[in-house]
Amino acid sequence: MKITFAKYHALANDFLVIEAGRNRLTRSRCGCLARMICHRRTGVGADGILYCSRKNSGFRVDVYNADGSWAEKSGNGLRIAALHRYLQDRRQRRFEIEMDKETHLTRVI
């Protein structure tokens, strides 16, 4: 299976961003994938995966740690998700991003 991703760094954390529209993955597959590709010696190397999907007028981000566990939220992950969205469409700088069940209003400056 070919999976498209981008790698970003934010304040000493690095995450792989995977778009749900291009790659349909279940929660268990995301966890398994995180264990494989986040490994620093045998994979790409990252602190985790940000699995991004569209939700109504905003976006949803699920965070998976390098050990495959799901995380409720990540401040650096939120920064990366906002930048990733901005780079997809530079006309917009404000985004609603949901992590777990909490919506965060973000702005790229």
Among residues 69, 77, 99, 64, the alpha carbon closest in space to that of 8 is found at: 77
Please name each of the domains of the chain with its CATH number.
6-107 (3.10.310.10)
3-state secondary structure of 17: strand
Q: What is the pLDDT of residues 23-40, one digit of tens each?
A: 788 888 999 999 999 999
Q: What is the pLDDT of residues 77-87, one digit of tens each?
A: 999 999 999 99
Q: Give the predicted TM-score (pTM) of the model.
A: 0.91
The dihedral built from the CA positions of residue 86, 88, 90 and 91, taken in this order, carries a sign that is: negative
